[in-house]
């Protein structure tokens, strides 16, 4: 039993399950927009299938990323103890896990509707393809943002079977928000990226300028949130959640400096996780009430 729990923990660490908090809340926003629309109702089946799609898609993406980056992870002192380089999980088992997660994602999408099934391979191409973007473009951060931005529109399509503007706008929020904090996260590896030929904004334009790009992306995030609030005639709960969201985004640039990365972990994980979760909760409550 102890060995099973240890192995289960290794796989949860492999896919960074705790980071599900970045995309899952926005999937619930897209789901809520759908079930609150005329002609659609809440069903437990659709909710559970949306959760399954999110879990399996993210598991496939993260495990594939660890497979693709295993040789780089071995060379980087910060990542050398990750599960594949350290031998906690074999490459063979990681590949099998990725394949199984991908197939389960497609199967879950198939049980929702035809549009979800048709788009599921496209989603996989985007979220798996991100893992190679650092080989050829400094815009890799935007590709990560694009992958996670599929959550609100994907959950909406899971219920309705078609696209709509409001969940697409929330996807824009996720895209710019995630891209901005991935730039902050990449500050830790700018020297390593330059030495190994990997691409990132911090390695290409230095830490200070990369942070400025991150700020610019966050300005777009804030602008989109304000536009959404006006577009949907949001109530006080939405605006309260937006204010908390904005405040936590700003605070990240107070605690992270080009020459002081000691609190990158706090800015990347804790603050962004709390910001996205609270904003999503307040938005969902506003939509329902």
The reported pLDDT for the residue numbered 274 is 92
Identify any residues that bridge with 257 across adjacent strands, giving them in sequence order: 260
- For 21-50, b/e burial (b = at least 16 CB within 10 A) is bbbbbbbbbbbbbbbeeeeeeeeeebbebb
For the chain, what is the domain count? 1
Q: CATH code at 82?
A: 1.10.357.140
Dist. CA 257–CA 163, nearest whole Å: 40
Q: In which domain, by residue range, is 269 found?
A: 2-288
Q: Mind listing the pLDDT tens digit of every residue in the chain (289 residues)?
A: 677 777 778 787 787 776 778 899 999 999 999 999 988 999 999 999 999 999 999 999 999 999 999 999 999 999 999 999 999 999 999 999 999 999 999 999 999 999 999 999 999 999 999 999 999 999 999 999 999 999 999 999 999 999 999 999 999 999 999 999 999 999 999 999 999 999 999 999 999 999 999 999 999 999 999 999 999 999 999 999 999 999 999 999 999 988 888 888 877 778 898 999 999 999 999 999 8
For residue 1, the model assigns a pLDDT of 61
pLDDT at 227: 98
């Amino acid at each position: 039993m102890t060995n099973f729990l240890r192995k289960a923990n290794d796989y949860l660490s492999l896919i960074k399950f705790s980071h599900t908090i970045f995309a899952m809340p926005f999937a619930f926003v897209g789901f809520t927009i759908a079930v609150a629309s005329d002609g659609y109702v809440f069903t437990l089946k659709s909710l559970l299938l949306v959760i399954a799609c999110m879990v399996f898609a993210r598991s496939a993406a993260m495990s594939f990323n660890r497979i693709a980056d295993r040789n780089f992870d071995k060379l980087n002192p910060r990542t050398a103890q990750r599960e594949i380089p350290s031998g906690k999980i074999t490459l063979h088992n990681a590949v099998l896990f990725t394949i199984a997660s991908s197939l389960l994602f497609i199967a879950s999408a198939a049980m929702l509707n035809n549009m979800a099934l048709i788009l599921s391979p496209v989603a996989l191409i985007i979220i798996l393809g991100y893992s190679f973007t650092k080989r050829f473009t400094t815009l890799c951060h935007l590709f990560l943002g694009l992958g996670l931005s599929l959550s609100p529109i994907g959950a909406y399509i899971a219920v309705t079977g078609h696209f709509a503007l409001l969940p697409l706008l929330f996807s824009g929020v996720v895209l710019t928000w995630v891209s901005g904090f991935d730039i902050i996260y990449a500050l830790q590896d700018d020297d390593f990226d330059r030495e190994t030929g990997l691409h990132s904004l911090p390695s290409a334009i230095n830490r200070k300028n990369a942070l400025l790009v991150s700020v610019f992306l966050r300005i777009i995030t804030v602008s989109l949130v304000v536009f959404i609030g006006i577009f949907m005639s949001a109530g006080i709960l939405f605006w309260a959640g937006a204010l908390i969201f904005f405040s936590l985004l700003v605070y990240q640039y107070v605690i992270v400096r080009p020459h002081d990365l000691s609190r990158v972990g706090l800015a990347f994980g804790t603050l962004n996780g709390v910001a996205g979760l609270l904003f999503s909760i307040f938005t969902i409550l506003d939509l329902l009430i």
